[in-house]
Amino acid sequence: MDDLDQLVVRAQQEFAAAPTPAELENAKARFLGKAGRVTELLKALAPLSVDEKKSRGARINRAKESIEAALLERRQAMAQAELDRQLRSEALDVTLPGRRIGDGGLHPVSLTMQRIEAIFASMGFDVADGPEIETDWMSFTALNNPENHPARSMQDTFYVDMKDEQGRWLNLRPHTSPMQVRYARAHAARHAGADPMPDIRVIAPGRTYRVDSDATHSPMFHQCEGLWIGENVSFKDLKAVFTDFCRLFFETDDLQLRFRPSFFPFTEPSAEIDIAFNSGPLKGKWLEVSGSGQVHPNVVRNFGLDPERYIGFAFGMGPDRLAMLRYGIDDLRLFFENDLRFLLQFK
């Protein structure tokens, strides 16, 4: 191996040993640069004869070409390695299943509300929504709770330290019963010319509030009001409607209803509705599911209707209680703790 062959081998070795493109360029300068080994060799031709210059020059040029070829090869290998590294680090496995957004699910109380709404809608009831911040007049006065009457303190109301434009105190509604008044007044006004007025038949589900908190009471809870007013609506209709509702809601005909005398200022007579299942885990136990009664004449008057002509019934039930019975839940607080281990069972 002569000195030129050795030079080519050295260049190949140094190029191969260069760990980075920058170091490869330094190595190139050592061989092919202005002060590099090849240039030096060419300069050293000067004192030689023309023939010697020709043969030695040609051999130097071949060596130079070999060195340039080695350089090019090493550059390409480096670029390829860099590309491979990038492809590996940014690799996408297109065969992996995509990430899905969780489906979510409805809260058991929402499911119960929807169920109640669907059943009453199927019986021809309208479904109405109303404000959770109410006036004192709607929550109490219009419902035959006279001002300063002790019956007002039956409910531990959250009062708001604020009045509406007409100077009426505001509260967080302690029941959905004010919706009887709101809906009936709007209905009466809408059908002012009609004789007879079409029946009022509505339920009003929603949130209600009282200063109350234990295993069976929460300061925010749900109610569903019901109201049917017409020329000839009686307790018999209440019993029929509520029996149908219970059978559909609990998906069994194997239950009984009982009307237990009670008192509410806005109904006369008033009754608690109890149900008992004839079979199943709750067999034989009377469970209170709703307040009810024949709407008091003073309340019908506040609807803007003539109590001598229009009569009917109202009821107010607790969807939270109904959900607990339907699903066999024994602590109301589970509904509001947002524990996924509980909630996912209803998905």
Chain residues that interact with ligand DAH, rule: CB under 6 A: 175, 177, 225, 264, 267, 291-293, 314-316
- What is the arrangement of strands in the sheet containing 169-172, beginning at the earlier edge strand? 133-135, 169-172, 158-163
Cβ closest to ligand DAH, residue 292 vs residue 302: 292
Q: Nearest 5°: phi and psi at 337?
A: -90, -10
Cβ closest to ligand DAH, residue 78 vs residue 123: 123
Minimum distance of ligand DAH from residue 99's CB (angstroms): 47
Cβ closest to ligand DAH, residue 316 vs residue 319: 316
Cβ closest to ligand DAH, residue 144 vs residue 267: 267
Rounded Cα distance, 108 and 323, in Å: 7
Minimum distance of ligand DAH from residue 261's CB (angstroms): 12
Minimum distance of ligand DAH from residue 111's CB (angstroms): 22
| Number of alpha carbons in the 13 Å side-chain half-sphere of residue 51 | 0
Residue 340 has a CB neighbour count (10 Å cut-off) of 9
- Identify the burial level of 158 via C-beta atoms within 10 angstroms of its C-beta, where 0-12 means exposed, 13-18 middle and 19 or more buried: middle
DSSP letters spanning 62-78? HHHHHHHHHHHHHHHHH
Cβ closest to ligand DAH, residue 74 vs residue 210: 210
Minimum distance of ligand DAH from residue 302's CB (angstroms): 14
Minimum distance of ligand DAH from residue 290's CB (angstroms): 7
Helix segments in 153-296, DSSP class H: 178-190, 235-250
